[in-house]
Amino acid sequence: MQIEAAGVLVAHGHARSAVAFEVLVAAMNGASPPAALHAARMLQGLGPAARPALPAMRARLDAARERASTQDAELFIQFALEAAVDSLEPRAVPTPGAPRRTVGG
């Protein structure tokens, strides 16, 4: 419930968005895999409004990549955060012939 409420506050630009981001980041980094996934998906769904959480999302994405081979929930967290981070970071124009980035790499 807290994750949903925090997402609504951020999505609507509420004055308490900073507190809402704290709730989302804490859930994303918490011990409960279902809550972490829910928070990651919420941040993914917020699109550009999630930009203030980008450093925390990058850090959590790195952790998810390290754990994904041993914990199924981490793989789903990784997928959600890769999409979120990719949508928020500026994309460089690819150099012709340069290797393309793959999921997880």
What are the tens digits of pLDDT across the range 33-56? 999 999 999 999 999 999 999 999
The pLDDT score that the predictor gives to residue 33 is 93
Q: Which residue has the tokens 């150099």?
A: 95
The pLDDT score that the predictor gives to residue 68 is 84
Burial of 31 (0-12, 13-18, 19+ CB in 10 A): exposed
For the chain, residues with pLDDT lower than 70 are 91-105
Q: Which two tokens stand for residue 75?
A: 């793989």
User: Does residue 53 contact residue 21 with C-beta atoms inside 8 Å?
Assistant: yes
Nearest Cα to Cα of residue 21 among 1, 43, 45: 43
Distance (Å, whole) CA 45 – CA 67: 23
The pLDDT score that the predictor gives to residue 1 is 83
For the chain, give every domain's residue range: 2-87
The pLDDT score that the predictor gives to residue 97 is 59
Give this prediction's pTM.
Answer: 0.82
